[in-house]
């Protein structure tokens, strides 16, 4: 994968000097207090990604006025008389036709098609799935890669699903404790950011879903390659549980240091243990009692400690958090309490533009919508059978794509796409939600 760089805008601000005198300062403050608040306005750092002849990938700067050749990631400005350009267009179209486009024939077809093509562009031939094509996002998060593998699998792109998991198999830690992210060349983490416990849960879920969905021969290869990582990850989750059945604190999908346990860690670890249990017979794990016992303890502890408070981010009153979706289908069987909590959370986290922030405790840019959290809520609502509300959130995501049609990380207070684009996690979640609405997704069973 070859990337061209994109230099984002540099913003500056000025301070009002004290030399103008106290009366003038008072007048300025009074005027500002009466002026309407503009809200949080954020730049869009790229319109999307393009694929050049030969497969090189480049970012398309924001405001480019570019367009794609339909059914491809080739810009319409490319010389289509060039055989290499024509070959790339044909390759993209052939790849799309080899799989399924969730939402085909609906208003979401174009969003779904672009999400697939963007995922393909963000995935290197080695299976390294980068989060986004800009600066610090050009690394592999086990979480994002897991969702991409799942999205590839449910859309019929078995080889890509296997490739993404193959990369994870190569970087998998022997002790099952995953780094927050990895360099795309597979050489290790890019910095000393603390490890994230939730990664183990996401990887285990992806292996389970992919192995259930792809062709049997591909599933066998995936299970053989991922077997050491599955066993190590499940054992690491077991080792993280404390006397009360809950895991120790760790950073989660908010990606900040935490001193308290969050639902964003507990729920994915439950998912991971249940996925490992379901995989055990295929992996030759004859007696997964330790996993089974730990899964039951963890599930009981989550229901006992988080449930009475409506499944908040932290105990006892850390506010609503999009992580409640990790306890809903397709990650766990539907229950009335969790279904109600998902609906309540969708309302509590809604921002004026119609999208959602990560949680009530999220204090930065509180009028900005994050597309992964909005898409997670759409997936959970779809899994619970709330089709109308899932459709409303999908419509929001569709309406605020970039000019090139990619899904951005954020939508700002002025209802414009913002931050990086395309974002792999959101692209994967949209595909999974559309697949859920069409045919349903396999649900990880409860621990026996």
pLDDT in tens, 396-430: 999 999 999 999 999 999 999 999 999 999 999 99
Average pLDDT, the chain: 92
Asked whether the predicted pLDDT for residue 14 surpasses 60, the reply is no
pLDDT, position 341: 99
Q: Is the previous residue joined to 136 through a cis bond, with omega within 30 degrees of 0?
A: no
Q: How many CB atoms lie within 10 A of CB 165?
A: 30
Q: How far apart are CA 6 and CA 11, in angstroms?
A: 16
What is the second-level CATH architecture of the domain 20-44+108-439?
Answer: Alpha/alpha barrel (1.50)
Asked whether the predicted pLDDT for residue 382 surpasses 70, the reply is yes
pLDDT in tens, 318-355: 999 999 999 999 999 999 999 999 999 999 999 999 99
Give me the mean pLDDT over the 105-120 stretch: 98
Nearest to 377 by CA among 352, 354, 403, 399: 354
Q: Where are the domains of the chain?
A: 20-44+108-439
CA-to-CA dists, residue 307 to 174, 263, 341, angstroms = 34, 11, 9
Is 26 buried (19+), middle (13-18) or exposed (0-12) by CB count in 10 A?
exposed
């Amino acid at each position: 994968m070859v990337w061209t760089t994109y230099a984002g805008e540099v913003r500056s601000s000025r301070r009002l000097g004290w030399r103008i005198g106290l009366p003038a300062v008072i007048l300025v403050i009074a005027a500002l207090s009466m002026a309407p608040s503009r809200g949080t306005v954020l730049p869009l750092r790229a319109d999307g990604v393009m694929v050049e002849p030969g497969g090189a990938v480049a970012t398309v700067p924001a405001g480019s006025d570019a367009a794609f050749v339909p059914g491809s990631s080739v810009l319409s400005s490319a010389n289509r008389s060039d055989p290499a350009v024509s070959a790339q267009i044909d390759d993209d179209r052939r790849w799309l036709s080899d799989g399924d486009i969730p939402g085909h024939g609906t208003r979401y077809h174009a969003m779904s098609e672009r999400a697939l093509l963007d995922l393909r562009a963000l995935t290197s031939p080695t299976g390294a799935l980068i989060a986004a094509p800009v600066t610090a996002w050009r690394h592999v998060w086990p979480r994002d890669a897991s969702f991409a593998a799942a999205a590839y699998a449910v859309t019929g792109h078995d080889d890509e699903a296997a490739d993404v998991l193959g990369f994870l198999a190569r970087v998998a830690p022997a002790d099952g404790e995953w780094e927050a992210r990895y360099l795309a060349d597979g050489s290790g983490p890019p910095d000393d950011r603390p490890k994230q416990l939730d990664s183990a849960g996401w990887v285990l879920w992806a292996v389970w879903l992919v192995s259930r969905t792809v062709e049997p021969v591909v599933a066998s290869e995936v299970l053989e390659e991922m077997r050491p990582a599955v066993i190590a990850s499940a054992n690491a989750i077991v080792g993280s549980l404390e006397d009360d059945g809950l895991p120790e604190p760790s950073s989660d999908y908010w990606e900040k240091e935490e001193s308290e346990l969050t639902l964003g860690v507990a729920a994915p670890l439950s998912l991971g243990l249940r996925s490992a249990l379901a995989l055990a017979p295929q992996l030759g794990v004859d007696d997964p009692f330790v996993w089974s016992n730990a899964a039951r303890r963890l599930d009981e502890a989550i229901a006992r400690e988080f449930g009475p408070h409506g499944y908040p981010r932290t105990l006892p009153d850390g506010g609503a958090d999009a992580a409640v979706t990790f306890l809903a289908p397709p990650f766990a069987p539907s229950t009335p309490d969790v279904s109600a909590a998902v609906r309540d959370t969708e309302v509590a986290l809604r921002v004026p533009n119609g999208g959602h922030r990560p949680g009530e405790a999220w204090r930065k840019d509180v009028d900005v919508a994050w597309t992964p959290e909005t898409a997670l809520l759409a997936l959970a609502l779809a899994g619970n059978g709330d089709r109308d509300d899932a459709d409303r959130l999908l419509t929001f995501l569709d309406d605020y794509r970039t000019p090139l049609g990619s899904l951005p990380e954020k939508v700002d207070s002025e209802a414009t796409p913002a931050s990086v684009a395309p974002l792999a996690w959101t692209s994967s979640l949209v595909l999974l939600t559309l697949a859920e609405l069409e045919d349903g997704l396999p649900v990880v069973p409860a621990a026996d």
